[in-house]
A = this chain, B = another copy of it.
Amino acid sequence: MTIWISEQEAAQRLLEADNILLLAHQYPDGDTLGSNFALYQALKTLGKTVRVACEDVVPEKYDYMDATADMEDFEPDYICALDVADAKLLGPGMQATYGERVDLCIDHHSTNTGYATESCVDASCAACAMIILRIIRLLGVELTPAIAQCIYTGIATDSGCFKYSNADALAHRMAAECMDLGIPYEMINRVNFDMKSRARIELERLALDGMEFYHDGRVAVMTISNEMVARSGAKENDMEGLPPIPRQIEGVWVGITLRQKADGSYKISARTGTHADASAICVLLGGGGHNRAAGCAFDGSVEEAKAAVLKAVEQAVPRIVTG
Contact = CB atoms under 8 A, between A and B. Distances in A.
Contacts of A198: 249-250
- Count of identical protomers in the assembly: 2
A164 interface: yes
Interface of A is mostly: helix
Contact of A176 (B172, B189, B201): B172
A100 B26 CA distance: 62
B179 A169 contact: yes
A273 interface: yes
A190 B253 CA distance: 12
Contacts of A240: none
Contacts of A169: 175-177, 179-180
Contacts of A209: 205
Given A169-B176, A175-B172, A194 B248 contact: yes
Contact of A250 (B176, B187, B196): B196
Interface residues of A, number: 40
Given A165-B186, A180-B169, A205-B208, A197 B249 contact: yes
B161 A196 contact: no
Interface in A293-309: none
B189 A164 contact: yes
A110 to B, nearest CB: 17
10 closest pairs, A vs B, by CB?
A172-B176, A169-B179, A169-B176, A165-B186, A162-B162, A172-B172, A197-B250, A163-B189, A173-B176, A161-B163
